[in-house]
Homo-oligomer: A and B are copies of this chain.
Amino acid sequence: MDLRHLRYFIAVAEEENIGRAAARLHISQPPLTRQIQQLEDELGVRLFTRTPKGMELTQAGELFLAEARNIRAVVEQATERAQRAGQGKLGRLDVAIFGSAILDAIPKLLLTFRKAYPDVKIVLHTMTKAEQIEALRQRRITVGFNRMLAPQPDLATELVATEPLLLAINENHPLARETNIPFRMLAEHPMVLFPTGARPSFIDKVMGLCQEAGFVPKVSQEVGDAVTGVALVASGFGICLVPESVTTLTLPGVVFRPLQDAPAQAWVDLSCIYRADDQSPILAAFLETARLFRQHKQNEDGAIIATGTESWVADI
């Protein structure tokens, strides 16, 4: 049996007349007669009673008509779903994020993507950088978010956002009196660094910047993530350099200050990482969304920094 047989059968059942059905199907009458006979033979069932007026469905035919229509609908739906999946509009995207990445850019990007591709199910996984790379290789995730990604032969990265570094200080800290803090002033104060774990990491970024500014920072404590770092600042452990997005996290006693005279590299990247060989249309769609998102964000950046500055003023 063939889908053609079903199409023909439905036409004949609806027209109750082979000639008219044949016209509707744009074929001539005899082949249609034959196809119907074939279908009946194959099923071993009379689907029609032939009357001088035309073709009339038997009970079995009546039942099979309902089934045939159902099959037609199911097939149509299947092709349509496959096509949408092929365009990345339907399916599942497994995304890994690291601890404090939920703070700003990523949720907005995910929201944008979900708006554009509402039938793609986004599954979030929290993983460290090393876990993300491992999971990508095992195809357990499609894309991961991280900072400071070392290039990998089989993985590609895409820059999602760049953020300036801010200084998190306890409000009672001497530096908190300053509005704009020259970068070299950091040399004198114990500093909380993060994250421990896989290198290269944000720690290396900070160390590099200090080195460039001509000093080696006093390390007060190394911690696992930004949230813990800011928490230690709140308890008076020292100062801590953090990406701007961490400011969405407010802890009592902590204030954020921009850096003056900071080296040009005092910006930190947020990238996403994915398999270089992944041709999945969903990934392609996601990366495209990320690209658009970043452009959009850059256009807004002036505004963000302006309002940001205002809020620091208000903070003082």
- Chain A: residues with CB nearer than 8 A to chain B? 1-4, 42-47, 49, 58-61, 63-64, 67-68, 70-71, 74-75, 77-79, 81-83, 85-86, 90-92, 279-282
> Given contacts A59-B92, A70-B78, A81-B63, is CB(A86)–CB(B3) below 8 Å?
no
Total copies of this chain within the assembly: 2
Q: A46 — which chain B residues lie within 8 A by C-beta? A: 86, 279
Query: Do A281 and B78 have beta carbons less than 8 Å apart?
Result: no
Tell me how far the C-beta of A315 lies from the nearest C-beta in chain B, rounded to whole angstroms. Answer: 47
7 A/B residue pairs, CB under 8 Å, sorted by A? A43-B86, A44-B83, A46-B279, A59-B92, A63-B81, A64-B82, A71-B71
Query: Do A71 and B70 have beta carbons less than 8 Å apart?
Result: no
Query: Do B280 and A59 have beta carbons less than 8 Å apart?
Result: yes
Name A86's contact: one of B1, B60, B77 (CB within 8 Å).
B60
Tell me how far the C-beta of A135 lies from the nearest C-beta in chain B, rounded to whole angstroms. Answer: 17
Q: A2 — which chain B residues lie within 8 A by C-beta? A: 2-4
Smallest Cβ-Cβ distance to A142: which chain B residue? B59
Q: How far is the CA of A71 from the CA of B2 in the complex (A)?
A: 12
Tell me how far the C-beta of A19 lies from the nearest C-beta in chain B, rounded to whole angstroms. Answer: 23
Query: Do A85 and B68 have beta carbons less than 8 Å apart?
Result: no
Tell me how far the C-beta of A117 lies from the nearest C-beta in chain B, rounded to whole angstroms. Answer: 13
Query: Do A78 and B59 have beta carbons less than 8 Å apart?
Result: no
Q: How far is the CA of A82 from the CA of B39 in the complex (A)?
A: 11
Q: A43 — which chain B residues lie within 8 A by C-beta? A: 79, 82-83, 86
Best-surrounded residue of A58, A68, A77 (most CB of chain B within 10 A): A58
Q: How far is the CA of A280 from the CA of B46 in the complex (A)?
A: 10
Best-surrounded residue of A82, A91, A282 (most CB of chain B within 10 A): A82
> Given contacts A3-B3, A64-B85, is CB(A49)–CB(B91) below 8 Å?
no
Q: A49 — which chain B residues lie within 8 A by C-beta? A: 279
Q: A279 — which chain B residues lie within 8 A by C-beta? A: 46, 49, 58
Q: A45 — which chain B residues lie within 8 A by C-beta? A: 82-83, 85-86
Q: A91 — which chain B residues lie within 8 A by C-beta? A: 59-60, 63
Query: Do B1 and A82 have beta carbons less than 8 Å apart?
Result: no
> Given contacts A3-B1, A74-B71, is CB(A82)–CB(B59) below 8 Å?
no
Tell me how far the C-beta of A79 lies from the nearest C-beta in chain B, rounded to whole angstroms. Answer: 6
